[in-house]
Amino acid sequence: MKVKSFLKKKHYHCSEDFNLQIQYWAYVIAKHYNISLLEVYNMPKAIFQQSLIWAMAVDDETSKKREIQTQKAKANGREVVPLDYSFLDKDGF
């Protein structure tokens, strides 16, 4: 139950939340690279960070492509134009 409630949180509230976040990141890396959690925990900090960045970036891109394919399937042959509002997250908006 701790994991389910943790995944719903938007902010850390205690050191246990921080530990669960590290465990989650380790899981993301292990799943992406198909390696064991032990291998992830034995990584040097810099390798852990870079592996996490790449794993999250690839997962994000895969998710975007999956969403486009879902929209195309729903469109019944009509053109699908993806809308990107990420520029609103940049400074100055």
Q: Which residue has the tokens 């970036």?
A: 57
For 40-85, the DSSP string reads: HHTS-HHHHHHHHHHHHHHHHHHHHHHHHHHHHHHTTTS-------
The mean per-residue pLDDT over the stretch 2-8 comes to: 70
Q: Which residues contact 29 (CB under 8 A, 6 or more apart)?
A: 35, 40, 43, 48, 51, 52, 55
Q: What is the rounded CA–CA span in Å between residue 2 and residue 91?
A: 35
- pLDDT-derived band of residue 6, with 50, 70 and 90 as boundaries? low
Q: For the segment 47-90, what is each residue's pLDDT rounded down to a tens digit? A: 999 999 999 999 999 998 898 888 888 888 777 777 777 777 77
Note the pTM of the prediction, 2 decimals: 0.66
Decide if pLDDT at 43 tops 80. Answer: yes
